């Protein structure tokens, strides 16, 4: 059996001790001074972050507005077209004093009320995403259509057509205002 070589063991212990001393000395050094922020870099970063956030918000708002316009303008002609057709059918029946005049009167009034309700539902669903001026044009149509429906329901063979014609002109003006405000498709 061989004994430990004291010289080799001493050399190994000395090497380990010197290595540990160097590690401890390297980790124990400090850097003098105070940590500070690079103001130019921080300001640049904040400006870029704000610009990016603003651009993202503007893009999101523009997309929501475009969707609101599409959701309201695209179906408007079809929605109101049926009401116009039923109203014209009633006017023809009234002028001709046909036997189905009462049925056509009710169909016209219901179609006008339905169109107003449908348009109102879409405007309300769009909320603040729909531009205020365009929302007002739709709202004007809603009121005019309901007004015409009320006048249609009042009509008999002996009724004056003046109020009906006035209400009809309001609907036509409101229809044209919306159509002119909506983008051409």
Segment 79-108 shows an average pLDDT of 95
In a domain, 96, yes or no: yes
**pLDDT of 117 over the 70 cut:** yes
Q: How far apart are CA 73 and CA 70, in angstroms?
A: 5
In a domain, 49, yes or no: no
Q: How far apart are CA 72 and CA 178, in angstroms?
A: 10
What's the domain count of the chain?
1
**What domain range includes position 118?**
72-181
Label residue 6 by pLDDT band (50, 70, 90). low
In a domain, 54, yes or no: no
- Residue-level pLDDT at 65: 85
**pLDDT of 38 over the 60 cut:** yes
Least confident range of 54-68, 80-94, 101-115, 119-133 = 54-68
In a domain, 55, yes or no: no
Q: How far apart are CA 171 and CA 111, in angstroms?
A: 13
**Concatenated DSSP letters of 61-88:** HHHHHHHHHHHHHTTHHHHHHHHHHHHH
- Residue-level pLDDT at 28: 62
**pLDDT of 173 over the 60 cut:** yes
In a domain, 132, yes or no: yes
Burial 137-161 (b: 16+ CB within 10 A, else e): bbebbbebbbbbbebbeebeeeeee
- Residue-level pLDDT at 66: 82
- Residue-level pLDDT at 47: 72
Backbone phi and psi for residue 47, each to the nearest 5 degrees, phi listed first: -65, -45
- Residue-level pLDDT at 17: 80
In a domain, 4, yes or no: no
Residues 6+ apart with CB under 8 A from 149: 108, 109, 110, 112, 113, 116
In a domain, 21, yes or no: no
In a domain, 142, yes or no: yes
């Amino acid at each position: 059996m061989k004994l430990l070589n004291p010289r080799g063991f001493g050399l190994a212990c000395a090497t380990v001790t010197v290595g540990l001393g160097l590690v401890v000395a390297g980790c124990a050094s400090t850097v003098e001074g105070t940590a500070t922020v690079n103001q130019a870099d921080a300001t640049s970063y904040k400006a870029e972050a704000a610009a990016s956030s603003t651009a993202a918000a503007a893009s999101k708002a523009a997309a929501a507005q475009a969707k609101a316009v599409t959701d309201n303008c695209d179906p408007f002609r079809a929605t109101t077209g049926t009401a116009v057709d039923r109203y014209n059918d009633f006017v023809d029946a009234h002028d001709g004093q046909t036997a189905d005049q009462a049925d056509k009167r009710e169909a016209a009034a219901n179609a006008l009320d339905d169109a107003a309700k449908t348009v109102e539902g879409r405007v309300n669903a769009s909320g603040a995403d729909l531009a205020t001026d365009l929302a007002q044009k739709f709202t004007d149509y809603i009121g005019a259509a309901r007004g015409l429906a009320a006048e249609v329901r009042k009509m008999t063979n002996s009724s004056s057509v003046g109020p009906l014609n006035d209400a009809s002109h309001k609907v036509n003006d409101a229809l044209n205002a919306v159509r002119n405000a909506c983008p051409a498709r």
